[in-house]
Structure 1
Amino acid sequence: MNNKITIAIDGFSSTGKSTVAKQLAKHLGYVYVDTGAMYRAVAYYAMSHGFIDENGFDKVSLIEHLENVNISFKFNDALGFAEVYLNGVNVEKKIRTLEVSKFVSTVAAVSEVRHKLVEQQQQMGKDKGVVMDGRDIGTVVFPDAELKLFMTASAETRAQRRYKELVVRGDEVVYNEVLKNVQERDYIDTHREDSPLVKADDAIEVDNSNLTLEEQFSVILELVNKTLNK
């Protein structure tokens, strides 16, 4: 397995992209990059600075402050994955809330935000041996990736997963609110002008509505091995 490849995993929110990407990276000894976390970090920054809330979005101020946004990943041995740091501060837990989820797709639709983060993502994957998940990895970030996957599942299945995840974390959430958030994010992600969420022509679709995590990993690992053996 000396021939390292780039694995691009795209798909809707809460399709388990990050889970399988982490599994693959660990199994292959590759670098894992959670691009969704990068957009969440920018959304969290915008919220913390009063640029976005229920009453509106001051897009101009966010764009003006983008040069002050520094996102990095630091591997946590105890957890077995890299956590997200915003300007040197660990924000891994803070960016995973439903509040951040409400604004992340709006912030991610800003071209200047996408341009800044795509540049960083391309830099992170320039030496291959990377598993990256997000919304535009196979179409924009790495259009030449050797393996492109597109993850999908019904909105209800995804909302149920996200709801369980948040409840386990101790967040007080209502299922219908989570479902509404999933549907709204789907709409914004697929309708934005800049790099909308679409399946790349050469991506392999994986519908995991009825797959366990083990079954999903097995299906995807087979696709990886086929690609590596080409």
Structure 2
Amino acid sequence: MRPPRTIALDGPAGVGKSTIGKLLADRHSYLFLDTGVLYRAVSLAAVRQGLASADAISLSIVARDLDVAIGRAEPESGYMYRVLLCGEDVTEALRSPEVEQIVSEVSAHPQVRAQLLQRQREIARANPSVLVGRDIGTVVLPDADLKVYLDATIEERTMRRHRERLLKDPAFPYERVLAELQRRDKLDTERTSSPLSVPVDAILIDTTGKDVDAVLLEIEARMEAA
């Protein structure tokens, strides 16, 4: 049986999509693309240019002209990939509070999504790939060979994201992470363009209380059956 060439991995913020997707890609020699990185790069460029998150036209131009490169990170860096924006390493800046504050609004604009859609599809067509995002199975790769939707309770997702934040700021409040995720969930599910939803033909995996290896094994079992 031929293994799936394209794997779409969707789910809400903080569910572990990037961690699972990167490990899955590494274990099976797939290309890994966290499509959220592209929207974060547009958001960071917007912050630096002083653009409003509601300015869809200007943001779509930023997305069209985006000079971004995604490569391997050094193992000791703690990051899954290294992101260059106009040649500058912005890997850490993409997770800044300023970017977190606007990335959902920026990614909700149909004009921005349209500019980045073709780039994502071209990457997937060129290589056996694992693509991670919020509309991969519904919009970016509706014909993906395998679609997986990861979910977890808001408490579980907040705990995971808070643990990440504490590594950089030991005083970062749990309540702020919870509020951020609740806000992002609302924006992601209620936006008019490509809202977060479960693809009808996706495998739904609740990761609450599960470790990474357990989730990987569950996906790999589905890969063998695909």
Q: Specify the alignment match of 1:167 in structure 2.
A: 166
Partner of 1:201: 200
Q: Contact conserved, 1:4 with 1:128, CA < 8 A, in 2?
A: no
Match of 1:96 in 2: 95
Q: Which moved more, 1:106-115 or 1:96-105?
A: 96-105
Cα distance in 2 for residues equivalent to 1:57 and 1:172: 31
Give the match for residue 63 of structure 1.
60
**How do residues 67-82 of structure 1 correspond to structure 2 at under 5 angstroms?**
67-78=64-75, 81-82=80-81
Give me the whole-angstrom Cα distance separating, in 2, the residues matched to 1:104 and 1:148.
24
SS of the residue aligned with 2:81? Answer: strand
Structure 1 residue 110 displacement after superposition: 0.8
After superposition, what is the alpha-carbon deviation per residue over 1:128-178, rounded to whole angstroms, capped at 9, x for unaligned? 410000000001111000100001111111111101101112364211111
Distance in 2 (CA, whole Å) between partners of 1:111 and 1:191 is 13
* Cα distance between partner residues in 2 of 1:101 and 1:213: 24
Q: Is the 8 A contact 1:75 1:83 kept in 2?
A: yes
CA distance in 2, matches of 1:171, 1:37: 25
**Residues 213-222 or 103-112, more deviating:** 213-222
Distance (whole Å) between structure 2 residues aligned to residue 67 and residue 87 of structure 1: 14
Residue aligning to 1:145 = 144
Cα distance between partner residues in 2 of 1:33 and 1:46 = 22
Deviation of the 1:68 alpha carbon: 3.2
- Counterpart check, 1:124 vs 2:123: yes
Aligned-pair distance for 1:10?
Answer: 0.4
Give the direction of change, closer, same or farther, for the CA distance of 1:4–1:148 in structure 2 (3 Å limit): closer
CA distance in 2, matches of 1:208, 1:81: 20
Q: Deviations over 1:37-75 (max 9, x none)?
A: 1111111111111113xxx64333323443332222122
Asked if the contact 1:51–1:59 (Cα under 8 Å) also holds between the matched residues in 2, the reply is: no
Distance 1:126 1:68 in 2: 21
Does the 8 A contact of 1:15 with 1:151 survive in 2?
Answer: yes
Number of residues paired by the alignment?
Answer: 224
Q: Which aligned pairs between 1:203-222 and structure 2 lie closer than 5 A? A: 203-222=202-221
TM-score by length of 1: 0.90
Distance change (3 Å), C-alpha of 1:91 and 1:172: farther
Task: Say what the alpha-carbon RMSD is for the aligned residues.
Answer: 1.9
Q: Which amino acid aligns with 2:90?
A: V
How do 1:8-27 and structure 2 match up within 5 A? 8-27=8-27
The residue matched to 1:76 in structure 2 has which SS? coil
Distance verdict in 2 for CA 1:200–1:98, change over 3 Å: same
2:132 maps to what in 1? 133
Q: How many angstroms apart in 1 are the aligned matches of 2:71 and 2:160? A: 26
Structure 1: runs of 5+ lacking an equivalent: none
Q: Which runs of 4+ in 1 moved over 4 A?
A: 1-4
Structure 2 match to 1:155: 154
Contact 1:138 1:148 in 2 (8 A): yes
Change (3 A) 1:35 1:171: farther
Q: Partners in 1 of 2:22 and 2:63 — Cα distance?
A: 28
